[in-house]
Amino acid sequence: MSTIYGIKKDTKLKLTGDLLEKEINGKNYSILYDGTIYNIDNIKAVIGKENYETDAEVLLDLFVSFGEKMLAYLNGDFAFAIYDGNTIFIARDKLGVKPMYYSQNGKSFVFASSIKDILNSKVIEPIMSKEEFLEMIALGPAHTPSKTYFKNIFELEAGNYLVFDNNCLKKVNYWDLKEKKLEDSEKEIITNIKELVTDSTKIRMKEDISSTLSGGLDSTIVTKLASDFKPGIKTYSINYEGNDEDFKASSYQQSKDSDYVKVASGSLDVSHTNLDVTQKELFDSLRISMDVRSMPGMADIDSSMYVFCKKLSQCGERTTLSGECSDEIFAGYPWFYREHLKNANGFPWALSENLRQNLIKKGLVENEDVNNYILTSKQNTLKRVEHISSSPFENEFKEINYLTIKYFMNTLIERTERTARLSNLDVRMPFSDYRIFEYVYTITGKDKLGLNVSSTPTEKCLLRFAFKDDIPISISQRKKSPFPKTYSRKYLEFVEEELRKIIDNPASRIHEILNIDYIRHIMDTHGEELTENLFGQLMTYPQTLAYIIQIEYWLEDYNIKVEI
């Protein structure tokens, strides 16, 4: 995994990372590049040259030939920076799989693939002002596109590029989801979806690749396709210590993943391994998983992914496939059709305004600040959504779809890419192919939910139908199941014990910003009085406590200066 960063002060540029320098047409160029371009052979054909040693060299020639228009040719997960002696050109892939951050302070401009490298440049201080505090408390662990929890440190948004020249910074959105009327029949839609997903998986394959398998629809489809291209492919699933015994079915998680992993692995041409994770490993990784984001994240949802990726790496895997990014485009979540979620003022996966307000130290901000921040973030993002339908249902659906991709999916991609990076693992997500998103985004909400043939909505209806003959029927008809998380009482005990140590220590940093009495109260009742989940079903009482723990780790480890 590459780390790329650079600093410009006056006219001097320091570049560090996987650097390629090359003279082209008498002019010197430098490129820093991280990622994978899946259509690299097509790009070589466009350039008219085949003999390249690295993909970075191909990108550099493409830039020299086409300038910023080069981005239209790329299908991949990438972040790169090109310097020609005067101008810096920085770009990020269309769906934002690979990270890129930047900051400007006077004549100094710094960019990096991690926030930590931005801070290590010493160009910017680790400060959290009121705006960043509200990002973390009102929206966290999600964040507004382009923003972080650090003052003056910004994320280059997916599908955007930057040009820095003569101390002037210009940001351009070169790709986004666009609405258009789709004339395809249902049969054509099904055929196109299957072809797109199949090709997207194929171009991400290589000899030593493996696949993750949770027993859900998405990972089973990806694994099925991968096993067609590579019979006997190695597959891996995560298994939490004691989870089968502690599991309790709910409307969101109706069945255990382990049962369906057996069905999927038994029906496909794969060599399967369950990777066991202890509750102590999960808890001990909370600090590391915070650090890979450089911000508080999804608690044990993050740390479980970190441990899983580390174990995959220990098994000798360097590249693996994942079924992520399907739910966000194919309508796999309940907020796509449940009225009380769709019509909520806030973000439907985080209807926890009261909980979030109660967590804030009394008098730190105004009571209405949390709600106002949530609504402003949501409304500003919705300004980008195009509407061409006369149907209120379709327009509302399109808005939910767009928000889910820009906020919820981005949070999940960050978790996977950052934790995998630390283990030198490349996780490839076939569903994140921009061609799939461009096409499926234009399909109506009624088609996606099967409401043209039934009055009962079906999550990911079109995807289920496209692959119904390729995977076991029990999986093709299985209700959406959230990312596997722990249900263990032992993990909760670890979290409660750690947080009590933190709140009982008057020197703990969270005393500066959080309501310790409220936190103590919800812990005394072991979460029984909580009526809201911090972040939907992914983050209930245990994960809420773990998120607070990560806030403390973050304030302490990054020496955050609070300016609220």
The predicted-structure confidence for 268-281, as pLDDT tens digits, reads as follows: 999 999 999 999 99
Q: At what angle do helices 217-229 and 186-203 cross, to 10 degrees?
A: 60
The predicted-structure confidence for 79-88, as pLDDT tens digits, reads as follows: 999 999 889 9
Residue 250 has pLDDT above 60, yes or no: no
pLDDT above 90: percentage of residues in the chain: 85
Residue 9 has pLDDT above 80, yes or no: no
Partners of 271 in the beta sheet? Answer: 234
pLDDT tier, 1 (very low <50, low <70, confident <90, very high otherwise):
very low
* Average pLDDT over every residue of 167-175: 94
The predicted-structure confidence for 106-146, as pLDDT tens digits, reads as follows: 878 999 999 999 999 998 999 999 999 999 999 999 999 99
Nearby residues of 401 by Cβ (< 8 Å), 6 or more positions away: 328, 329, 331, 336, 441, 445
The predicted-structure confidence for 36-64, as pLDDT tens digits, reads as follows: 999 999 999 999 998 898 999 999 999 99
Residue 238's nearest CA partner among 263, 258, 260, 209 is: 258
Task: Locate CATH 3.40.50.620 in the chain.
Answer: 192-337+409-476
* Average pLDDT over every residue of 207-222: 95
Instruction: State the CATH architecture for 192-337+409-476.
Output: 3-Layer(aba) Sandwich (3.40)
Tokens encoding 366: 């105004």
String of b and e for 153-174 (b: at least 16 CB within 10 Å)?
A: bbbbbbbbbbebeeeeeeeeee
230 close to 206: Cβ distance less than 8 angstroms: no
Residue 363 has pLDDT above 70, yes or no: yes
Residue 434 has pLDDT above 60, yes or no: yes
What is the C-alpha radius of gyration for the chain, rounded to an integer number of angstroms?
Answer: 23
Show the beta-strand stretches assigned E in 338-467: 426-428
Distance CA 220, CA 265 (A): 9
pLDDT tier, 19 (very low <50, low <70, confident <90, very high otherwise):
confident
Task: Locate CATH 3.60.20.10 in the chain.
Answer: 5-173
Distance CA 57, CA 46 (A): 14
Dihedral angle over CA of 484, 490, 492, 493, nearest 10: -170
* Average pLDDT over every residue of 385-402: 96
pLDDT tier, 482 (very low <50, low <70, confident <90, very high otherwise):
low
Residue 135's nearest CA partner among 551, 501, 523, 553 is: 551
* Average pLDDT over every residue of 160-167: 92
Residue 289's nearest CA partner among 18, 481, 520, 557 is: 557
Distance CA 19, CA 249 (A): 51
Distance CA 296, CA 286 (A): 9
Distance CA 378, CA 399 (A): 10
Residue 253 has pLDDT above 60, yes or no: no
Phi-psi region at 278: left, alpha or beta (left = phi > 0; alpha = psi -120 to 50): beta
* Average pLDDT over every residue of 424-434: 97
**Helices and strands counted in the chain (H then E):** 24, 19
* Average pLDDT over every residue of 333-342: 94
Partners of 447 in the beta sheet? Answer: none
pLDDT tier, 16 (very low <50, low <70, confident <90, very high otherwise):
low
What single-letter DSSP state applies at residue 161?
A: E
Q: How buried is 277 (Cβ within 10 angstroms: 0-12 exposed, 13-18 middle, 19+ buried)? A: buried
Half-sphere exposure of 151 toward its Cβ, with a 13 Å CA cutoff?
15
Distance CA 517, CA 202 (A): 54
CA–CA distance from 18 to each of 3, 31, 99, 154, 199 (Å)? 7, 8, 15, 22, 30
Partners of 109 in the beta sheet? Answer: 8, 104
Show the beta-strand stretches assigned E in 205-326: 210-212, 233-240, 270-277, 319-321
Half-sphere exposure of 8 toward its Cβ, with a 13 Å CA cutoff?
24
Nearby residues of 468 by Cβ (< 8 Å), 6 or more positions away: 476
Angle at 115 between CA 377 and CA 365, to 5 degrees: 40
Q: What is the mean pLDDT of the chain?
A: 93
Distance CA 380, CA 394 (A): 20
- The yes or no reply on domain 5-173 and CATH 3.60.20.10 is yes
Distance CA 95, CA 79 (A): 11
* Average pLDDT over every residue of 544-557: 98
* Average pLDDT over every residue of 360-374: 96
pLDDT above 70: percentage of residues in the chain: 94
132 close to 111: Cβ distance less than 8 angstroms: no
The whole-number pLDDT of residue 144 equals: 97
Nearby residues of 157 by Cβ (< 8 Å), 6 or more positions away: 92, 96, 145, 146, 173
The predicted-structure confidence for 490-512, as pLDDT tens digits, reads as follows: 999 999 999 999 999 999 999 99
Residue 71 has pLDDT above 50, yes or no: yes
What single-letter DSSP state applies at residue 53?
A: S
Distance CA 99, CA 153 (A): 13
The whole-number pLDDT of residue 50 equals: 87
The whole-number pLDDT of residue 17 equals: 65
Distance CA 215, CA 423 (A): 24
Residues making up the chain, counted from first to last = 564
